[in-house]
Chains A and B, each alone.
Chain A
Amino acid sequence: MKYNKSIGSKLFDVINFLFMIFIIIIMIYPFIHVLSISISDSAPVGLGEVTWIPKGFNFRAYSMVLSSNAIGVAYKNTIIYAGVGTTLILLLSSLAAYPLSKKRFYGGNIIAFLLAITMIFPGGMIPKFLVIKTLGLLDSRWSVILISVSNIWYIVLIRTNFQALPKDLSEAAYIDGANDWRILFQIYIPLSKPILATVALFAIVSYWNSFFHALIFLNDSAKFPLQMILRKVIMANMEDLGLGEFLGKGNPAEGIGLIQKLKMATIIVAIGPIIIVYPFVQKYFVKGVLVGSVKG
């Protein structure tokens, strides 16, 4: 659009630009703040002097966090949940998307309708809890994994993708004697890698960040995922973290600072993978939402 901008228009551009800079700052600042605290010296942290530039360098919090048993176990758990869960999601959603994309699938409309109902009537906390209980899955790793597998949105995404593939492909394969399984796994899925990557990314992030299901289904702390441990660390005070000794000894600001540093370091360790991977995969997420919301 080429037209002469009035002074008011140019002024608006400047203000808009500044406003966006402001937005960028408030989006990024909290993370910089957390990172700075985690690598600063303890005393300045305790005195509240660290806002966004680190004061001094001290990685003691990181060595404590990374060598912590509880965090290691929680990390391992989260990776297991995300890995197994995402694999199941990819498998089951693709398996379901294939028949639903075929016109000859008798009753497909009814099934699609039944699945779509779950979007409008969500199950609720208590019934899902009771179902898990009845299945004997309370306090088992499978509860956290399976509860998130039934997600209509992923099926819709993959089905849309399958429907967009040229019909000649499957027809030609059919004529050559291939059955549906081979068509799905040897033709459709390889051709759907981008959408599968999108689904995988959404699923991984969802599992990685999940807290609620672990909270209500799991009791055994050896099975706790990252977010549960994170929660404990964030809410902890001195005695909980076994640092009660600091209260009497030496510089109290150091003690307070160390607590904060530990909390911040744990946060960084928990969100680190996501932030590092984010710039590379961000476009998949956006595309996925666009396709999903149009079709949904």
Chain B
Amino acid sequence: MSSGKSKALNIIDKKHKKGLIYHIKKDYNLYLMILPVLITFFLFEHFPIIYNLFIGFIKYDLVDGLRGSTWVGFQNFRYFFQDPFFFRLIRNTFLVGTYSLLWGFPAPIIFALLLNEFEDGLFKRFTQSISYLPHFISTVVIVGILYDMFGFQGTINTIIADLGFEKIMFIDNPNWFRTLYVGSGVWRSVGWSSIVYMAAISGISPELYEAAIIDGAGRWKQTIYVTIPGILPSITILLIINMGRVMKVGFQKIFLMYSPLTYEVADVLQTYVYRRGIIGADFGYAGAVDFFNALIALILVVSANQISKKVSGTSFF
């Protein structure tokens, strides 16, 4: 094709550049198909996001709803920063989130590495299957079992007493709350979270292992110099995602586990949002707290992402 002819064709193409209307008419079925999802997403996802942006700046009127509400600027946020619970909420959210990360992040990795040392077979698959099971049990049930096993009459205390020690008050005890929360969290997620790492491990080329063996590396060195570097990208990305979640300690499990006796260590931002907003109907104020929570989480994720970019070159976005 001569360049003159292709230039002419390009000019003609640009003149008749197909616009949106043309495409909608041509493929209207496709647009119809995606319409329900667009509607549901807009209603239940995007609309709340938009709401989230300005709900903190409003004093919600219970009678007239949104129409009767007044714009109060940063007043809700100011009240929040002066709230007597402010420090406690931040501290609890931070501690619970950080401990969860500290224990909950390495556990699946170690579990995957240990499991990898087994030859593929019935035992390995059986152990894996069993380890995924807790992930499918609802939080309500898990807390229920937790309360039963660690209660004063529960199994754990029975064992403790049989060993000759004094029974421990685990439930409703501020000193044990975080341990129980994080511990049960690790129990629940170690198996399921290890799936990603197991997949990454299986993606490592066997030639790398062979080369290491030729160089005289034993199993331990193989793990350090082949396996771990092989899964490092997965670890990094997951670490970034999970660091963003440190301050987004979820509502459900805390709510199911806490009581006024443990508010001092257990009350986190999300549970406060629930009490002030859903129960107390002070949507503006609760919205401000919720917005603040989301903002911190966003900052953490972006920071973690940038740090990771600089340090290792891998990043989430």
**The one of B27, B41, B126, B141 that contacts A105, using a Cβ cutoff of 8 Å:** B27
Distance of A192 from chain B, by nearest CB (Å): 15
Q: Once the chains are docked, how many angstroms separate the CA of A263 from the CA of B154?
A: 13
Interface size counted on chain B using CB atoms at 8 A: 86
Q: Are the C-beta atoms of B48 and A128 separated by less than 8 Å?
A: yes
Q: A209-B138, A282-B132 are in contact. Are A9 and B219 (CB under 8 A)?
A: yes
Q: Once the chains are docked, how many angstroms separate the CA of A135 from the CA of B39?
A: 13
Is the contact region of chain A dominated by helix, strand, or loop, or is it mixed? helix
Q: Once the chains are docked, how many angstroms separate the CA of A6 from the CA of B221?
A: 14
Q: Once the chains are docked, how many angstroms separate the CA of A294 from the CA of B101?
A: 22
**The one of B37, B138, B195, B209 that contacts A271, using a Cβ cutoff of 8 Å:** B138
Distance of B100 from chain A, by nearest CB (Å): 18
* Closest A residue, CB atoms, query B302: A120
Q: Are the C-beta atoms of A147 and B44 separated by less than 8 Å?
A: yes
Most buried by B among A30, A126, A263, A264: A126
Residues of A within 8 A of B141 (CB): 230, 267, 270-271
Q: Does B239 contact A (CB under 8 A)?
A: no
Q: Once the chains are docked, how many angstroms separate the CA of A240 from the CA of B155?
A: 24
Q: Are the C-beta atoms of B140 and A123 separated by less than 8 Å?
A: no
Instruction: Determine, out of B90-98, B173-181, B273-281, B307-315, the stretch whose residues face the partner at the interface.
Output: B273-281
**The one of A12, A48, A146, A149 that contacts B219, using a Cβ cutoff of 8 Å:** A12
Q: Are the C-beta atoms of B140 and A19 separated by less than 8 Å?
A: no
Distance of A73 from chain B, by nearest CB (Å): 17
* Closest B residue, CB atoms, query A294: B199
Instruction: Determine, out of A54-62, A107-115, A164-172, the stretch whose residues face the partner at the interface.
Output: A107-115
Residues of A within 8 A of B213 (CB): 1, 3
CB pairs A–B below 8 angstroms (9 shown) = A16-B114, A48-B154, A99-B31, A105-B27, A209-B137, A260-B148, A267-B141, A267-B145, A271-B141
Closest 5 CB pairs of A and B: A123-B48, A209-B138, A106-B23, A127-B51, A127-B48
Chain A residues within 8 Å of B, Cβ to Cβ: 1, 3, 5-6, 9, 12-13, 16-17, 19-20, 23-24, 26-28, 30, 33-34, 37, 46, 48, 51, 91-93, 95-96, 98-100, 102, 104-107, 111, 114-115, 117-118, 120-131, 134-135, 146-147, 149-150, 155, 179-181, 184, 205, 208-212, 216, 227, 230-231, 234, 256, 260, 263-264, 267, 270-271, 274-275, 278-279, 282, 285-286, 289-290, 293-294
